[in-house]
């Protein structure tokens, strides 16, 4: 896995409780997969997988998906907030497509849940907090 983000939108007054998960990874054959999982919190929801032509195509697709989630307040009346983030170096900037459209500081992910791995070629891929501000 090179990138994973989980989002939630909840508003009891509107009876809106949604979850959204985006994962980008390579399969055993080296193909780039972009996987989505979404639905009402507490239900099975739906899952979709797309094979991207290359890494740049996977980034482009993930960025477009996150931009769409960032427009949730205008579309559904409730903003998504990040509940978990994993990004290998070079992929963390994808969150900026989402975070740049978030207006409230309360939508920021706690630092303990932001994880990145330093050098993917290193045998010691120790997790660390990413430096990107959200």
Q: Which residue has the higher pLDDT, 113 or 60?
A: 60
CATH number at residue 66: 2.20.140.10
For residue 63, give its domain range.
3-128
The C-alpha angle 95, 90, 46, rounded to 5 degrees, equals 45
Is 73 inside any structural domain? Answer: yes
**What DSSP string describes 99-134?**
HTT---GGGSPPGGGEEEES-TTSS---EE------
pLDDT tens-digit readout, 33-91: 999 999 999 999 999 999 999 999 999 999 999 999 999 899 889 999 999 999 987 88
Is 134 inside any structural domain? Answer: no
Is 92 inside any structural domain? Answer: yes
Is 78 inside any structural domain? Answer: yes
Count of structural domains, the chain = 1
Is 81 inside any structural domain? Answer: yes
């Amino acid at each position: 896995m090179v990138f994973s983000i989980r989002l939630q939108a909840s508003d009891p007054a509107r009876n809106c409780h949604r979850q959204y998960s985006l994962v980008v990874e390579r399969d055993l054959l080296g193909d780039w997969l972009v996987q989505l999982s979404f639905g009402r919190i507490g239900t099975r929801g739906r899952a979709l997988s797309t094979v991207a032509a290359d890494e740049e195509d996977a980034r482009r697709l993930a960025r477009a998906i996150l931009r769409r989630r960032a427009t949730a307040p205008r579309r559904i009346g409730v903003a998504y907030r990040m509940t978990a983030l994993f990004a290998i170096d070079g992929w963390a900037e994808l969150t900026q497509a989402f975070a740049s459209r978030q207006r409230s500081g309360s939508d920021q992910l706690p630092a303990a849940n932001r994880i990145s791995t330093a050098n993917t070629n290193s045998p010691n891929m120790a997790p660390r907090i990413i430096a990107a501000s959200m």
